[in-house]
């Protein structure tokens, strides 16, 4: 982490994930085996640190639906009242556009909780693994297309 940087409002979840290696390696291998051949635009493990899971609560101050990855910015207020703006990396916006999501879907000022992993360089960036509203609803619900009703058969 760069000198002087602070992380008072980060709920570091390290330690809550005790089993990094173990029985789940087998499960992971099974999952990888059946994954489509091509992966994301870049390896997330190169950008984000599995040892730095974070959970942040804040308000949306900027949404960038840009390629190859979208970025959602939230302002987080620490216990001492200091504010920080964190950036979270999401996927390509194209899929969202096809599902009817636009830059108007996520209003500025909305309160969200983001779980993800902090960037390896210690900056205020993280992967946006899961983004939920305080009542537990997911920001972008997955699996919205009922099985068998997709355009692909």
CB of 140 to another protein, least distance (A): 4
Looking at the chain, the number of H-run helices and the number of E-run strands are: 3, 5
First CA to last CA distance, the chain: 48
CB of 9 to another protein, least distance (A): 20
CB of 81 to another protein, least distance (A): 27
For β-strands 71-77 and 111-119, DSSP reports them as unpaired
Listing DSSP states for 27-67 in one string gives HHHHHHHHS-SS--SS-HHHHEEEEEEEEEEEEEEEEE--S
């Amino acid at each position: 982490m760069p000198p002087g940087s602070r992380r008072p409002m980060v709920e570091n979840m390290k330690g809550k994930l005790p089993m990094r290696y173990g029985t789940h390696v087998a499960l992971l291998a099974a999952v990888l085996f059946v994954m489509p051949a091509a992966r994301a635009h870049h390896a997330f493990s190169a950008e984000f640190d599995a040892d730095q899971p974070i959970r942040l609560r804040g308000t949306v101050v900027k949404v960038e639906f840009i390629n190859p990855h979208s970025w959602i910015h939230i302002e987080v207020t620490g216990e001492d009242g200091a504010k920080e703006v964190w950036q979270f990396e999401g996927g390509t916006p194209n899929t969202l556009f096809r599902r009817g999501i636009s830059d108007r879907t996520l209003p500025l000022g909305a309160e969200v909780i983001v779980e993800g992993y902090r960037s390896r360089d210690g900056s205020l960036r993280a992967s946006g693994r899961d983004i939920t509203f305080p009542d537990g609803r997911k920001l972008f619900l997955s699996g919205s297309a009922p099985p068998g009703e997709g355009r692909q058969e």
